[in-house]
Structure 1
């Protein structure tokens, strides 16, 4: 069996080696030996792995000369993996990154689970696992063995705002709510693109990022996607919502993020409406959403009634199934849902 292994050199480390949200690489003085990078969000996985490598190198006498070996679980021979996880004569530092661990065969999965609880001195094992696959039992086994878990699950639409805010915060910029909203509207849902946009905006504006700057730099970008479409739909602006949807689809925006954004907008209106009138800052805590989002939903509620909100919730629930394989024509399903939401708002 051919094994695809490669050595991770310094050039493989992303400029931003911050760990993914939900996990940390451990202090440089005492990095953990066993790590479980759990999820399927590529950017967060990359950051988590790079964070671990940086921490181990910082604590190792070899420093940046320390090399890491990456293996794909479904393609590695069990005897090669066993050799890498075995003790060495001088207990020198080693970093082994096992990618796509959910694909591991029965023997490699058992070897990893058995070895994880008592790794040899100097060995640092980073297991990248989606949480599913034929070797999904590896996840609880590694957790039981004391693995440091890095949460790299796909972010939900309502979590992307905090991600953008965190990107700006890491660059030393405090982003106002309208800036976060403008970035999400202008760039879309791809985390790598969002991270790149935040970095570029900070660099191009000298850290003075406002909503006008975002609109200036990203004017005309079609990936402005779901949030723009959703805002127009819940406002009952039929022509503008259809134009935004068709433009986004023509430029290749994926169906699921568009549907997610529409569902998020309708669900937010439903939750804020059910909470009754009140100060956005007071309601934010109980609703679990930022004040600016509560305030925005309160404005969008005008023209909606409890019964039409209920029907809109049914529309977006149906759409969710349609764009995930339930309909042979997801483009049509999206357009139909947008038109229905617009009609409910107008009615």
Structure 2
């Protein structure tokens, strides 16, 4: 369980969500909210397979709907009520939900999904004040590669599937721009792939996507493979890749390498200080082979110039990109 926020109810992440009489699910990542709700449903079913599951749309709520679904059944089955669009709720829902929160049914779990905004604020404030035994699940946006890596690893772990570390890295790199696309890619591999998921598996399913990523361009460039890097770069651009995130990937990679230059502490000690996963630190250390401090400085300067050029400072951003790749592939020699 995560630390409590500035309210009096417990807070959880999507991966640690637990049932409670009232569960408020907030945050920008809808696919994480879906995972949290799924986790709650599975927890309830593990206790009693007769769980009844119902859905309510708060934006089109009809009076009496909540009380009807939450009323004790003839055989006493537990109930899960999933409420969507609470941020768009109508007045009828708000009034009846506030009444229900004051005395929730002990055999019913109500999951309320709120995507943000001011609508329903009175309900949120009431829940966060601790009324009705509520808890909150915060589904914050997956911003860093480390966040995405942890999410993908959890997806395969939860499904009981094995995936090699390098295959997992390739998958995350291929879908680093979209958490929801990464989630869908994980689920496709879980559903369709047989046995352990390896580099070859990821290549077979998402080869074109993997090969055309900025990560492949930068990995080949920092290793001095100019020809391979340029081929992948041109293919990426031809298939619609945006130059701006490509430059950003180069910048992140070279800055991490620069921070590690001459650093003797192990990856575990540095992970928190540098905001990078241990595997990223280990990889960056391997990439430093052949580089000098001067070369790293030159490369970072060229990357900064390229960043300005692809954002409008030059009429030929493609030339700037290829020049950047040339400099990096020559270990910073201009």
TM-score band w.r.t. shorter chain: 0.5 to 0.7
- CA separation in 2, counterparts of 1:106 and 1:288? 44
Shift of 1:63: 0.3
The normalised TM-score by structure 2 is 0.67
- CA separation in 2, counterparts of 1:253 and 1:94? 47
Q: Using a 3 Å threshold, how does the CA distance of structure 1 residues 217 and 267 change in structure 2: closer, same or farther?
A: same
- CA separation in 2, counterparts of 1:116 and 1:317? 52
Q: Which residue of 1 aligns with 2:39?
A: 51
Shift of 1:294: 0.6
1:196 and 2:183 matched: no
The normalised TM-score by structure 1 is 0.65
Query: Is the 1:236–1:342 Cα contact (8 Å) retained in structure 2?
Result: no
Alignment size in residue pairs = 307
Q: Which whole-Å deviations, capped at 9, do the CAs of 1:159-183 have from their partners, x for residues lacking one?
A: 1222233333335455443232233
Secondary structure of 2:213 counterpart: helix
Shift of 1:254: 7.6
Shift of 1:127: 0.9
Q: Which residue of 1 aligns with 2:53?
A: 67
Q: Which residue of 1 aligns with 2:286?
A: 299
Q: Using a 3 Å threshold, how does the CA distance of structure 1 residues 246 and 39 change in structure 2: closer, same or farther?
A: farther
Q: Which residue of 2 aligns with 1:154?
A: 141
Query: Is the 2:86–2:115 Cα contact (8 Å) retained in structure 1?
Result: yes
1:181 and 2:169 matched: yes
Q: Using a 3 Å threshold, how does the CA distance of structure 1 residues 121 and 86 change in structure 2: closer, same or farther?
A: same
Shift of 1:193: 3.1
Q: Which residue of 1 aligns with 2:111?
A: 126
Shift of 1:126: 0.7
Question: What is the alpha-carbon root mean square deviation over aligned residues?
Answer: 4.5
Q: Which residue of 2 aligns with 1:100?
A: 85
The 5 A counterparts of 1:166-245 are 166-172=154-160, 175-186=163-174, 188=176, 189=178, 190-199=181-190, 203-204=193-194, 206-207=195-196, 209-221=197-209, 225-232=213-220, 240-241=228-229, 243-245=231-233
1:289 and 2:280 matched: no
- CA separation in 2, counterparts of 1:255 and 1:117? 54
Q: Which residue of 2 aligns with 1:342?
A: 325
Query: Is the 1:315–1:340 Cα contact (8 Å) retained in structure 2?
Result: no
Shift of 1:246: 5.1
